[in-house]
Structure 1
Amino acid sequence: MEENRSGDPPDTMDVFAALAKKRVYIETYGCSYNFGDTANLVEVLKYYGSTRVESPDEADAFIVNTCTVVGPTERRMLRRLSALQEKPLYVTGCMPLVQREAILSVCNPVIISPDTIREAYLRVRTVAPGGTGVVQIAQGCLGHCTYCITRRARGPLASFPKEEILEKVRAFVDAGAYEIQLTAQDVSAYGRDLGTDLPALLSTISDLPGNYRIRIGMMNPATVLPVLDELVDACASDRIFRFLHLPVQSGSDRILEQMGRGYTVQEFEEIVAAFRSRYPDISIATDFIVGFPGETEDDFSRSLALIGRTKPAKVNVTRHSKRPFTGPFAEKDFPDSVKKDRSRLLNAYAEEQYSVTNRPLIGTTVSCVVTEKLRPGSVMARTAAYQGVVIQNDLPIGAAVEVILKKDRKYFFMGDPVT
């Protein structure tokens, strides 16, 4: 295996043959797509007689599935890889696709390309039992965001065949999953390279039999716009959670243009309005980047105002960090103190909006379904609008239950089953 430690991606069979029948410890970082890669990797390792272990002390080999979306994450990755440099180490994920030399500066691992995992998995095609199944529907994107390293790592859009996706959904449902998470770098771009689209895929998946619901993953407003009406219609199915993850990134058109996002604030709000008009209780999550080069106080105020107008159920805030192979930006980067202040302000304001939205729901009764076992005697359930409700009961995955909402925890509720 030594020849694979610094050069081209090794042959698929060589990598997994080297891991055959070993106890493997895996750490996964980043987005749901990476967790989908890890789930596939685990099934391949099972095929080769390997065992995934939960403790590093039990492991014969270590695999780190990396993320490098922002600077702090990159630094965390390099520290972790350095700490494991004396172990039998394998590295996959986005980082080796764009920062191989940075990895090799701190350790000497075997590199496993994500494409290698996919190639091997397509020969296995098994899934693990559990309440949630991650189904990758495409890799890459159509975007040209000026700050994004992921598009360089994952490349242009490559949608996966419909039958492959349907087969995996069926497998997860048969294995007991209730929540099917569709994931990609940009879910709403699905099919543009195949002559089809996401609404058509959703309609086909919704026709599959079984007890399950679909959670649509992250979508770029720019690729939602061409299919907006059809997507709103497709979400009428009871099979689909009334939930959108729609990153807006800024409330300023000037900053959105510099980011290369391909839509305006008004167009983002039109998407939100179209879904809320049809589904008033829909949960909408969004993302913001603060401290983007050139972001003025007025630009930042526009982001705050957008949160106030749209009242998302969840806001993810990222402090801008310059990434390799992105930009260039003429404007000087902000000091960390400015980005921290803006991040705190945006988060605090978003949490105020959560309270405004959630407060009237306390004491009401909602219908939900158990999707995840959190720990013995505690489960997570989801309403049709994907509101999370933690229930202190040991209920089975897929169990439908009526719950009285007792406490607002900002990002989820605590609830008691109706007796």
Structure 2
Amino acid sequence: MATYHIETYGCTSNRGESRQIERKLRDAGHYRVDTPEKADVAILNTCTVVEKTERNMLRRAEELEAETADLIVTGCMALAQGDEFGDIDAQVLHWEDVPTAVTNGECPTTTPDAEPVLDGVVGILPIARGCMSNCSYCITKFATGRVDSPPVAENVEKARALVHAGAKELRITGQDTGVYGWDTGERKLPELLDRICDIDGEFRVRLGMANPGGVHGIHEELADVFAENEKLYNFIHAPVQSGSDDVLEDMRRQHRVEKFKDIVDAFDERLDHWTLSTDFIVGFPTEDEADHELSMELLAEVRPEKINVTRFSKRPGTDAADMKGLGGTIKKERSKAMTDLKMDICREVYGSMVGETREVLVVEQGTGDSVKCRDEAYRQVIVTDATEHDIDPGDMLDVTITDSETVYCFGEPV
């Protein structure tokens, strides 16, 4: 768990984005502190209205860099003029990527009494608490312990209640959804997903983070479940963290690169249009240049549609905190190289969708009169002029993809 300090400049939209960042950080067990000196990470949400504002943003970024262990810069200036922060030791990210970057590759954390939550048309269903991993860099395990899996029938009834309450998208969450049922001696995730998809109603299901070590062994069966159920988004988040087996061993991850590739191959064989989401930790203390190149090669080979790149930072009490760290410049350079490749891959993925027709679920309001939608592979589609088209969250509609940006595209209702 991390402490964070966040500063927001500019318009109401920026403040709204900061609120969403904070909500996700709180949901993951992180907590806010008042000053950057007390924080594991500082977040600067920038504005870029006039030249004077830009100078102020750069000055504040320089101040925060000196006051905190890690700095993340997001917001309008970060997106429009990210190169301006090139001399500052900071991660420049889209605001939606900030919560994942703060987690340092750790499992998400839920409260001990985590219960289903309905947020608009999105139902959040924690299926278990805890994990079966012992990663050397992760502090979450100190808070959550070993996995504790409620019965399948209990989770199915919670899912049914969310659907009856109006949920159109069910998000299956946990520290590591892939190990659901391990504590009972059975690997129950495929059965749970199958039974949730059997619930009457029009809704979609998104599976949350599942570590490759937990998925491998059920990856063939799990891929079959995805292929057989239209209600399941064709989306899996399997964080590989490194392309080097040596680094994965030092991280004490439960998988190696070949197991990760086995999972990808199983889904490739069964699904035509699907999204692989994965994470990389850049600059782990034992990562040398050859290890970094292996990660770059894996990213280029597998080409995930969603990639979270996190610079390693030490968490107190973890074994990795006692390792001699790499310099900030090395981490910054490796992070930039991987982020550049990530952007190229994402830009290609979304660009290839232009001209196609997709069925999408409207999930939430966007900026202005737009809405955010998800297609069957959980790729983000923005539809503008929602009022004119009489579109509301929860609607299902067909759209033609008309244009694309790096990590989303635009759709016009058919």
TM over 0.5: yes
* Alignment match, 2:205: 214
* Alignment match, 1:308: 300
> What secondary structure is seen at the aligned counterpart in 2 of 1:315?
strand
* Aligned partners of 2:315 and 2:321 also within 8 Å: no
What TM-score results when the alignment is normalised by the length of structure 1?
Answer: 0.71
> What secondary structure is seen at the aligned counterpart in 2 of 1:361?
coil
Q: Distance in 1 between matches of 2:231 and 2:379?
A: 16
* Aligned partners of 2:347 and 2:405 also within 8 Å: no
* Alignment match, 1:184: 174
Partner of residue 251 from structure 2, selected from 259, 262, 272: 259
Q: CA deviation at 1:129?
A: 5.6
Q: Distance in 1 between matches of 2:216 and 2:406?
A: 30
* Aligned partners of 1:28 and 1:35 also within 8 Å: no
* Alignment match, 1:415: 411
Partner of residue 216 from structure 2, selected from 225, 241, 246: 225
Partner of residue 348 from structure 1, selected from 340, 347, 362: 340
* Aligned partners of 1:33 and 1:136 also within 8 Å: no
Residue 242 of structure 2 aligns with an amino acid whose one-letter code is S
1:368 and 2:360 are equivalent in the alignment: yes
> What secondary structure is seen at the aligned counterpart in 1 of 2:123?
strand
Change (3 A) 1:285 1:405: same
* Alignment match, 2:164: 174
Greater radius of gyration (CA): 1
Q: Distance in 2 between matches of 1:328 and 1:221?
A: 21
Percent of aligned positions that are identical:
35
Change (3 A) 1:270 1:242: same
Q: Equivalent residues in 2 for 1:92-171 (5 A)?
A: 114-115=111-112, 117-118=113-114, 127-128=117-118, 130-171=120-161
Q: CA deviation at 1:133?
A: 1.1
Partner of residue 265 from structure 2, selected from 263, 268, 273: 273
* Aligned partners of 1:135 and 1:169 also within 8 Å: yes
Q: Distance in 1 between matches of 2:38 and 2:344?
A: 27
Q: CA deviation at 1:327?
A: 1.2
Q: Distance in 2 between matches of 1:157 and 1:272?
A: 25
| Matched positions, count | 324
* Alignment match, 1:74: 40
Q: CA deviation at 1:75?
A: 4.5
> What secondary structure is seen at the aligned counterpart in 2 of 1:286?
strand
* Aligned partners of 2:350 and 2:405 also within 8 Å: no
Q: Distance in 2 between matches of 1:161 and 1:360?
A: 42
1:295 and 2:287 are equivalent in the alignment: yes
Residue 400 of structure 2 aligns with an amino acid whose one-letter code is I
CA offsets per residue over residues 382-405 of structure 1, 9 Å max, x none? Answer: 111111101011412232212121
Residue 155 of structure 1 aligns with an amino acid whose one-letter code is G
Change (3 A) 1:354 1:362: same
Q: CA deviation at 1:195?
A: 3.5
Q: CA deviation at 1:164?
A: 3.2
> What secondary structure is seen at the aligned counterpart in 2 of 1:235?
helix
* Aligned partners of 1:129 and 1:175 also within 8 Å: no
Q: CA deviation at 1:73?
A: 6.1
* Aligned partners of 1:146 and 1:326 also within 8 Å: yes
Residue 111 of structure 2 aligns with an amino acid whose one-letter code is P
CA offsets per residue over residues 305-361 of structure 1, 9 Å max, x none? Answer: 111111111110111111112115775201112111111111111111122333222
CA offsets per residue over residues 8-45 of structure 1, 9 Å max, x none? Answer: xxxxxxxxxxxxxxxxxx978679695388xxxxxxxx
Question: Which moved further from structure 2: 198-207 or 325-334?
Answer: 325-334
* Alignment match, 1:199: 190
Residue 138 of structure 2 aligns with an amino acid whose one-letter code is C
Partner of residue 400 from structure 1, selected from 389, 396, 407: 396
> What secondary structure is seen at the aligned counterpart in 2 of 1:251?
coil
Q: Distance in 2 between matches of 1:306 and 1:399?
A: 38
> What secondary structure is seen at the aligned counterpart in 2 of 1:372?
strand
Q: Distance in 2 between matches of 1:180 and 1:171?
A: 11
Unaligned 5+ runs, structure 1: 1-25, 38-63, 81-112
* Aligned partners of 2:381 and 2:411 also within 8 Å: yes
Q: CA deviation at 1:76?
A: 4.5
Change (3 A) 1:350 1:176: same
Q: Distance in 2 between matches of 1:176 and 1:378?
A: 21
* Aligned partners of 1:132 and 1:177 also within 8 Å: yes
Q: Distance in 1 between matches of 2:214 and 2:369?
A: 42
CA offsets per residue over residues 257-307 of structure 1, 9 Å max, x none? Answer: 111112111111111011011002110110000000121111101111111
Residue 260 of structure 1 aligns with an amino acid whose one-letter code is R
* Aligned partners of 1:221 and 1:247 also within 8 Å: yes
* Aligned partners of 2:285 and 2:320 also within 8 Å: no
Unaligned 5+ runs, structure 2: 1-17, 44-66, 69-109
